[in-house]
């Protein structure tokens, strides 16, 4: 049966690596959000040239596996750009997660922007607002509300996807578990424990997501 004593002892060991996992996910999420907003605005406003670039970018990063992208950045790119030889696993992972998830998020943000009724755009323009004022003050705040549930799902997905960083030699939560398990041969206990840790983190986030949605919906109560 399960060696519960071993699991209990392993818990604090693994939790030491949780901050790195959360850091990677949070940093990648911040960059991905910024990039996704830019991509979405470019797509919605049909900015010449950039629009074509956005389409290509989104197509590539949605069309290829995250693991392949991570290997490309970590093992592949330094071959092309020699100064990148010093790229760390963490940097490559954050870069890969950022680009990969920004492509997905750009599409949800774009859909949220397009979903806001046209009359508000016209009203903002009619009082003399510029396109960027319109975006910042009227459209994006509302699009945020619409896109939040989906974006939170991507964030949750991203936290789990950080586990792939262990394939780049990063000792984060998953990498640490792998090492511990290899030492003790108690694979079931170790991986079950790490699964529970991921699950707990995601549950906490889901709770936060519900609170956030209540807050964002306060303008729409009848």
Partner 1 sequence: MISLQGITKRFGGHTVFKDIDLSLAQGEIIVIIGPSGTGKSTLLRCINFLEKPDAGRLQVGDLSVDTQRASRADILALRRRTAFVFQNYGLFANKTALENISEGMIVVDKLPKAKAHARAREILERIGLADKADAYPASLSGGQQQRVGIGRAMAANADVILFDEPTSSLDPQWVEEVLGLMKQLAVERQTMIVVTHEMQFAREVADRVVFMDEGGVVEQAPPEELFTAPKDERTRHFLRKILAPTGQAVP
What does the binding site for partner 1 look like in residue numbers (CB under 8 A)?
A: 116, 119-120, 122-130, 133, 137-138, 141-142, 145, 218-222
Q: Does an H or E element contain 184, and which?
A: helix 173-184
Smallest gap from Cβ 215 to partner 1, in A, equals 13
Q: Which is nearer to partner 1, 121 or 150 (CB)?
A: 121
Smallest gap from Cβ 73 to partner 1, in A, equals 38
Smallest gap from Cβ 167 to partner 1, in A, equals 42
Smallest gap from Cβ 111 to partner 1, in A, equals 17
Smallest gap from Cβ 112 to partner 1, in A, equals 13
Q: Which two tokens stand for residue 24?
A: 């990677």
Q: Which is nearer to partner 1, 87 or 134 (CB)?
A: 134
Question: Residue 117 gets which letter from DSSP?
Answer: -
What is the residue-wise DSSP string for 119-172? HHHHHHHHTT--HHHHIIIIIHHHHHHHHHHHHHHHHHHHHHHGGGGGGGT--S
Q: Which is nearer to partner 1, 136 or 211 (CB)?
A: 136
Q: Which is nearer to partner 1, 98 or 142 (CB)?
A: 142
- In terms of phi and psi (left: phi > 0; alpha: psi -120 to 50; beta: otherwise), the region of 75 is alpha
CA dist 161 and 25 (Å) reads: 8
Q: Which is nearer to partner 1, 144 or 171 (CB)?
A: 144
How many CA atoms are closer than 13 Å to the CA of 214, on its beta-carbon side? 6
């Amino acid at each position: 049966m399960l060696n519960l004593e071993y699991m209990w002892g392993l818990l604090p060991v693994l939790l030491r690596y949780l901050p790195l996992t959360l850091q990677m996910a949070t940093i990648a999420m911040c960059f991905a959000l910024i990039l996704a907003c830019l991509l979405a605005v470019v797509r919605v406003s049909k900015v010449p040239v950039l629009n074509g670039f956005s389409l290509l970018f989104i197509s590539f990063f949605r069309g290829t596996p995250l693991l392949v992208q991570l290997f490309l950045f970590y093992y592949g790119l330094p071959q092309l750009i020699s100064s990148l030889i010093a790229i760390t696993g963490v940097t490559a992972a954050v870069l890969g997660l950022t680009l990969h998830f920004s492509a997905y998020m750009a599409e949800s943000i774009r859909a949220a922007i397009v979903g806001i009724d046209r009359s508000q755009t016209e009203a903002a323009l009619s009082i003399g607002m510029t396109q960027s004022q319109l975006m910042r003050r009227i459209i994006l705040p509302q699009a945020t509300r619409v896109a939040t549930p989906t974006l939170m799902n991507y964030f949750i997905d991203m936290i789990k996807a950080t586990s792939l960083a262990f394939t780049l030699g990063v000792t984060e939560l998953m990498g640490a578990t792998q090492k511990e398990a290899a030492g003790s041969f108690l694979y079931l206990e170790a991986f079950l424990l790490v699964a529970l840790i991921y699950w707990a983190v995601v549950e906490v986030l889901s709770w936060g997501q519900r609170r956030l949605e209540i807050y964002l919906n306060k303008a729409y109560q009848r």
